Amino acid sequence: MSSKTTQARTALAEMAKDGAFARVDSVHRSTTVEPVAGRYHLYVSVACPWACGALQAISIKGLNDVISHSITHPTWQRTRPDNPDDSHCGWVFRKASDEPLSNSNSHGSFSGDELYGSGDQIEGCSSIRDLYELSEDTGGKYTTPVLWDKKLKKIVNNESTEILRIINKDFNELANNKSLGLVDLYPEELGEEGNRLNDIIYPNINNGVYRCGFASSQAAYELAFKDLFDALDQMEELLSKQRYLCGSKFTWIDLRLFNTLIRFDEVYAVYFKCNKKLIREYPNLFNYTKDCYQVKGMSGAISMYHIKTHYYTSHVGLNQHSVVPLGNKIDYCSAHDRARFE
């Protein structure tokens, strides 16, 4: 494994001089794969919205038997607990039968569940950091999703949108149902519109909630807050006219927006101080969230236990004692009004 432990960091360290959160791009960016069943493995946290989307794409495309996956424990842990000079905390693997984990300050007790019951059965790693170092990473930020090549024992890609494109186009012939293989999350005729919307949604909503939550100055927070709710108002208006973001067809940009919206009321409104309005106060966005949740392949990757446990227990600088708010139990399987656009 690499010895470059001094580079280990998390997104919380990515700050501009003005106190704004400035996410650094992923570094593993190969998009070349050999479409062979069983060669690739996806490592994810289902608390992470970016990773969740990749796992959902596998289900939507009928590739669960083609690309296997492992799920981490939701609570970050010290990744080098025996090294007092290395304080990095990140995603770790545990089995459902293991003892509950506390946060890195030894507060709380957070038990396992069936989602991550097998640990890492591919490489036997104890953390996502171990995988990166096995792949001779030099970036030092150990994120999910990770598309892993089991044959070469290395990371193919850790940029979520690029992994989505790989899953969408390269394994269609291997889908367990040919009709699912034909599902296209990136339809060519909607490519320009999807990219235009992503230029609004990614910086202001997907990343916008993090810009609010991780801001270390009032000015940076207020700018992010305004950008976030201006963009949400834009999406509310757009979705008053059509079922999905690009029209009548569910696409990758819906998947991306959904994974922020589903976390918003329970986490971002509270934890990241995004408290102007809840998603359930936006009639179109709320019904749209339920509609997307009910798309086949979407709900299996959503665990509110993982989502809330991760956010409220992993960033000890934001929530030292890891007290998890109870919140509301929203039934996303309940009726929605989006079929009115059919």
d(CA 48, CA 69): 14
Contact residues for 41 (Cβ-Cβ < 8 A; gap 6+): 67, 68, 69, 70, 122, 147, 148, 150
pLDDT at 197: 98
Q: Which residues of 88-108 are buried (b: 16+ CB within 10 A; e: fewer)?
A: bbbbbbbeeeeeebebbeeeb
Residues in the chain with pLDDT < 50? 1-6
pLDDT (tens digit per residue) in 103-122:
999 999 998 777 777 899 99
Residue closest to 67 by CA, chosen among 107, 112, 37 = 37
pTM of the full predicted structure?
A: 0.94
Angle at 14 between CA 13 and CA 17, to 5 degrees: 105
Q: Which of 40, 210, 221, 293 is catalytic?
A: 210
Contact residues for 97 (Cβ-Cβ < 8 A; gap 6+): 112, 117
Which residues face 71 on adjacent strands?
A: 44
Q: Is the dihedral of CA 197, 203, 207, 208 positive or negative?
A: negative
Contact by Cβ (8 Å): 54, 160: yes
pLDDT at 1: 42
pLDDT at 6: 45
Is the peptide bond prior to 49 cis by the omega test (within 30 degrees of 0)?
Answer: no
Q: Among this protein's residues, is 142 annotated catalytic?
A: no
Q: Among this protein's residues, is 125 annotated catalytic?
A: no
Q: Which of 43, 48, 52, 221 is catalytic?
A: 48
d(CA 314, CA 339): 39
